[in-house]
Homo-oligomer: A and B are copies of this chain.
């Protein structure tokens, strides 16, 4: 596969050899990788890098991998794929029930990992307003979540990371009103709950780029006092 999704992955793994393997293996497939070599650091990276998913080794030096999962799940639903040397069934069950989305036993092939990443991406994109290929279309606006491409009138539009992220959250919940709090938590993480200021700025930028008449938006609608929503 030669898709270059430009997605962001946080890898939490203490073994440098496997980190190296993932860095090159996933890197050549267009992923942007951030690494952490212990659980503490991993939780922080997950918070600040806003990854599309997380690859987590259970055997970490400083804390139990299951606790890392629980900690992340306190504020986020980012897909987590677990890697582990332990093929013990109880470990698998524990990790999956703590909130992991998949579990691979070492040794594993890069091809299988990539296939399971694609499964995770399908899941996080699924929405009734999207066709089977995870492409959202409404009027002149088209968003391809898999390829990370945005079009208006068949013309590709470049978005910055935050702009794209905001749009993708709106697309994944097309039609629904999303509160300021929810959007801020999804995009800037749990610490920026009150900066609803940011939202206005990025919303304005998206309208400039995507709306025909930015002052009278067709797609990116304001619900004053509540939040925003994408009309479809």
- Whether the Cβ atoms of B148 and A119 lie closer than 8 Å is no
For chain A, the count of residues having a C-beta within 8 Å of the partner chain is: 41
Closest Cβ of chain B: how far from A119's Cβ, in Å?
A: 5
Q: How far is the CA of A119 from the CA of B119 in the complex (A)?
A: 13
**Identical copies of this chain, number:** 2
| Chain B residue contacts of A77, Cβ below 8 A | 126
- Whether the Cβ atoms of A115 and B97 lie closer than 8 Å is yes
Given contacts A89-B111, A147-B175, A176-B146, contact A96 B123 (CB under 8 A): no
Contact with B along A178-194 (1 / 0, CB 8 A): 00000000000000000
Given contacts A123-B123, A148-B176, contact A161 B225 (CB under 8 A): yes
Contact with B along A81-107 (1 / 0, CB 8 A): 000000001101100110011100000
Q: What are 10 A-B contacts with C-beta separation under 8 Å? A: A90-B111, A93-B112, A93-B114, A96-B119, A100-B119, A128-B173, A148-B176, A149-B175, A161-B225, A161-B226
Give me 10 other A-B pairs in contact (C-beta within 8 A), A90-B111, A92-B115 excluded: A1-B97, A73-B132, A93-B115, A96-B119, A97-B115, A102-B102, A128-B176, A147-B176, A148-B229, A161-B224
